[in-house]
Amino acid sequence: MPDLPEPLDVIAVGAHPDDVEVACGGTLAKLAGSGRRVGIVDLTDGEPTPFSLGPAARMEEAGDAAKVIGAVQRIQLDFPNRRLFDCFEHRIELAKVFRRHRPRIVIGFGEGTPMASPDHLQAQLITDAAVFYSRLSKWDDHFDGLPMHTIQRQLYFRLAMEPMTIAANPFHILVDITETLDQKIAAMECYQSQFAHKNGMADRIRAAATMTGSIAGVAAAESFAAARPFATQDLFAAVGF
């Protein structure tokens, strides 16, 4: 059996470097700040984009953003940007990451983004399948001998600029990011290639977090939906005490 690294508590999966920061950077920073081991997977390098100096510069930005968030691991897979498609090989590659790093929670896209990149919906399909493939038995030869691993919870995020919740999914959870909103904005601002030319982007993301938080009476929040509903053993903890 291959040597395995110390497990991660949570892995967030984006299609492009910056997706995860925009969608759930505040939550990841909060988890990291409380001692959780946070990992980020970018399925593509996100390049080309109009104002970027190229993949190396984008990867440097992603590394800086991961440091701001406090992620202990950032993994970039080499799937193709702009023509990302759900397929068997991509499912296997991502499931290998899950089997190697053994997260308890996986967070990723939960819907398409019309008029923005179609890669996001494909990322959801790949992530859904990889979460399932990660726990399949009698299939180890597809995964370089990595042992099967059951991911206990899967959550869907939304990009901060999208509508406030995933409309088709009733199982919503808001995470209070009042204390880490500045970290989220700072992580986002590491991506000069993506946001420097878009005036007011930080304000929009801050406003979206504020609006989402106002639903639950906190200063700022990020919204998630459970891929499948789950039960709590502790009602007080589940309702925020």
What is the binding site for Zn ion (CB under 5 A)?
A: 15-16, 19, 117
Q: Which is nearer to Zn ion, 146 or 188 (CB)?
A: 188
Residue with tokens 């970027």: 52
Q: Which is nearer to Zn ion, 47 or 128 (CB)?
A: 47
218-221 contact pairs (CB < 8 A, 24+): 218/174, 218/176, 218/178, 219/176, 219/178, 219/181, 220/26, 220/176, 220/177, 220/178, 220/181, 221/174, 221/175, 221/176, 221/177, 221/178
CB of residue 22 to Zn ion, shortest distance in Å:
8
For 19, the token pair is 């997706």
* Residue of this chain nearest to Zn ion (CB atom): 16
Q: Which is nearer to Zn ion, 16 or 99 (CB)?
A: 16
Please state whether the peptide bond connecting residue 50 to the residue before it is cis, i.e. omega within 30 degrees of 0: no
CB of residue 54 to Zn ion, shortest distance in Å:
17
CB of residue 161 to Zn ion, shortest distance in Å:
11
Q: Which amino acid belongs to residue 70? A: G
Q: Which is nearer to Zn ion, 43 or 146 (CB)?
A: 43
CB of residue 82 to Zn ion, shortest distance in Å:
10
Contact in structure between 237 and 183 (CB atoms under 8 Å)? no
CB of residue 172 to Zn ion, shortest distance in Å:
22
Q: Which is nearer to Zn ion, 16 or 184 (CB)?
A: 16
Torsion of CA 83, 112, 132, 23, to 10 degrees: 100
